[in-house]
Amino acid sequence: MTTTEPTVSLDQPTVVEAPKVQQSGVPREGIKPKRASVLEVWRSMPLTVKFSTVWLILVFGGAIYAKVDTTIFDGALPLQDPNAQTNGFSAATGEFGDGEPLEKPSADHWLGTDAIARDTFSRIVHGGWVSLIVASVAAGFGVIFGGFLGALVGFVRGRTEAVIMSAIDVILAFPALILLLAMVSIFRVRDLLIISLVIGFLSIPAYTRVARATSLAISQREFVLAARAIGTKPGTILRREVIPNVLPVVLSYAMVAAAFVIVVEGSLSFLGLSVQLPTSTWGNMINLARADIKVDVMQAVYPSLALVITVLSLNQVGDWFQKRASHRASAL
Amino acid sequence: MLKILGQRLLRLLATLFAVTFLSFFMTSLLPGDPAVAILGEAGVQNEELLNQVREDLGLNDPLPVRYVNWLGNAVQGDLGESYINQGQSVSGTIVQRLPVTAQLAFMAIGLAVLFAVPIGVLGAYRQGRWQDSVSSAGVQVALAVPNFITGIFLIWLFAVKLQWLPASNWNRISDKGIVENLRTAILPATALALTQMAIFSRLVRSDMIATLQENYILSARAKGLKDRYVLFRHALRPSSLSLATIVGINFGALLGGTVIIETLFAIPGLGFRLINAISQRDILVIQGITVSVAVGYVLINTIVDLFYTVLDPRIRRS
């Protein structure tokens, strides 16, 4: 091992060689471990995490496909219209459709039809879109605002920290869903953007806490002390030493938080307080199907499975990334 | 000890102040004019009357003044009247419905702890063996199932298929006695408990694994105490402290969960009323329930915090 490039071992924390002292500036090039390639990451995943990743790609890829289908191709791609009632009158053919409510799965309708004869498979695929958007917006808000706030207050401490953290504590002093309900009821129009923004805003406190805890630990480290000692400006230290090391932890938290957000949106949909009908979400599909569980419980099972497997997968992948991130942090 | 108590009390007051203000502020943003709601369509024509009602309700005052007035009344138990069901006082509704929600929440917590402790202890004791793998996998799945899904399938199994229990409704203890009450309470409480149980047992397991490596456990084993005795008497006690904390923290999630579960099972608790009020835009009811739930949550967390301090001498000293 005489090469200067540190090799990345995937199961173990990356061992980084001592940074070479440079002529001027902050010695940091040597600290950055080589980024593992996608293939290497895939190989190092345990089987359950691999399955979870595949599922997430399928569900969210399918949701994007469905969205592209309806918005760009006007439903021309092979996927049924999620809102068409298969027993309804069609102007094109001049006849009523031959579909029925609560059909059993068949070649035409892979997962049967719902209470008003719409294709369940298509509705589930389309339903992934709302989950994807809400989870992404929440993660974006959390990482950008929460992550930055947390990294900042953990680094500067003092009065700034006291003020910001007490504001955070007040928001966390509410039961999350109650606060969400109160905020959601402020808006008359419930579209995806508003729901996402409200959930995104409410995600910030938890991220701030996670980022602050990491930032506190990072800010005590010798490389931060070293940067201070050579007179680097605090802003530069925050940007170049603290934030890059807080970010992996926050990003891996985002996965687990996304799972939680999907459940929260599912609950809102279930209560009929999320996006407006007929847009399908897993939550409102479950809510619709529950009226008919005496006749056909399977219509409730399919969207429930979609929701549960997605949440389970996000948890698995998130936990795994969190472990990697903490290994990385301890190897610094 | 007294100093800690004083600090906690001060912080509690500050938090309560902030929480009540935030709920008041938020609900004052709710759309819809209360004066219009009270007068109905006829009143909208009459500008003078409308203004009169607004004045009476204090709606023309600036927000801080309204908050102070409202807080003064709230402390005396007056949260106003429902706009939709006129003559129905908000605090009366809360007092009437709180016991239902509280019973559900406490039953759920009780069930969760009751099952979580043995599962967690077993996982720690048999760490790495099949018992641990099975219970850990179960915990992972349970964590991923939202409570409304659990609720629906409990209804399907026990009310539709087996027909052992009613699918919805609520029998008050005072009306029908404890047995009938429990028959309506057990399914919703179980639906609420499942996620909490998973969280608790995961915590107990990881906590116990750490505790079991302590020297005093080794010495307890060395002097020939039975495993069960060591586990439940020596190892569980320090772990139960962190359990107590997480129970307190998760109480908020549970109160949120009751909203969904009460709606699903048509249970006349606070959560169901809140959802009705939201769909009817009954502002004072939304406000009253939000504030009282938030205040209750803050109080419970403070009590758990204090309890924790009293129980654990290490925290008391530092």
- Residue A68 C-alpha, separation from nearest chain B C-alpha, in angstroms: 29
| In chain A, where the domains are located | 44-71+110-330
Instruction: Please name which of A97, A91, A93, A130 lies closest in space to residue A116, comparing C-alpha atoms.
Output: A97
Per the DSSP assignment, residues forming a β-bridge with A95 are A90
- Residue A225 C-alpha, separation from nearest chain B C-alpha, in angstroms: 27
Tens place of pLDDT per residue across chain B (318 aa): 677 778 878 888 888 888 888 888 887 777 766 666 666 666 666 777 777 777 777 677 777 888 888 888 888 877 777 777 777 888 888 888 888 888 899 999 999 999 988 898 888 888 888 888 888 888 989 989 999 999 999 999 988 888 888 877 787 777 777 787 788 888 999 999 998 999 999 888 888 888 888 888 888 888 888 888 788 877 787 777 778 878 877 877 788 788 899 999 888 888 888 888 888 778 888 888 888 888 888 888 888 777 777 766 665 554
Per the DSSP assignment, residues forming a β-bridge with A113 are A119
Q: What is the pLDDT of residue B33?
A: 67
Q: What is the pTM of this model?
A: 0.83
Q: What is the pLDDT of residue A94?
A: 63
Maximum Cα interatomic distance, chain B, rounded to a whole number of Å: 87
The answer to whether A241 and A224 have CB atoms below 8 angstroms apart is yes
Which of B149, B290, B301 is the closest to A286 by Cβ? Answer: B149
| Cross-chain residue pair A259–B144, CB shorter than 8 Å | yes
| In chain B, where the domains are located | 2-75, 94-317
Q: Is B75 exposed, middle or buried (0-12, 13-18, 19+ CB in 10 A)?
A: exposed
The answer to whether A82 and A119 have CB atoms below 8 angstroms apart is yes
User: What confidence tens digit (pLDDT) does each residue in B50-103 have?
Assistant: 777 777 776 777 778 888 888 888 888 777 777 777 778 888 888 888 888 888
- Residue A72 C-alpha, separation from nearest chain B C-alpha, in angstroms: 34
N-term to C-term CA, chain A: 20
Residue B69 exposure: Cα atoms within 13 Å on the Cβ side: 12
Mutant choice from B28, B136, B149 vs A, greatest count of A C-beta within 10 A: B149
Which of A170, A186, A304 is the closest to B15 by Cβ? Answer: A170
Instruction: Say yes or no: A297 contacts chain B, CB-CB below 8 A.
Output: yes
Beta strands in chain B (DSSP E): none
Please identify, in words, the CATH class of the domain defined by A44-71+110-330.
Answer: mainly alpha
- Rounded CA-CA distance A172/A139 in Å is 17
Check pLDDT > 60 for residue A16.
no
The CA dihedral of A215, A245, B249, B122, to the nearest 10 degrees, is -130
Q: What's the complex ipTM?
A: 0.83
| Cross-chain residue pair B255–A178, CB shorter than 8 Å | yes
Structure tokens at A212: 């602050």
Query: Tokens 């919805």 identify what position?
Result: B168
Fold of the B94-317 domain: MetI-like fold (1.10.3720)
The DSSP letter of residue A94 is T
User: Does an H or E element contain A89, and which?
Assistant: strand A89-90
Backbone CA torsion sign across A93, A98, A103, A108: negative
- Rounded CA-CA distance A187/A176 in Å is 18
| Cross-chain residue pair A312–B144, CB shorter than 8 Å | yes
Angle made by CA atoms B187, B190, B193, in degrees to the nearest 5 = 155
User: What confidence tens digit (pLDDT) does each residue in A52-85 have?
Assistant: 999 999 999 988 988 888 888 877 777 777 777 7
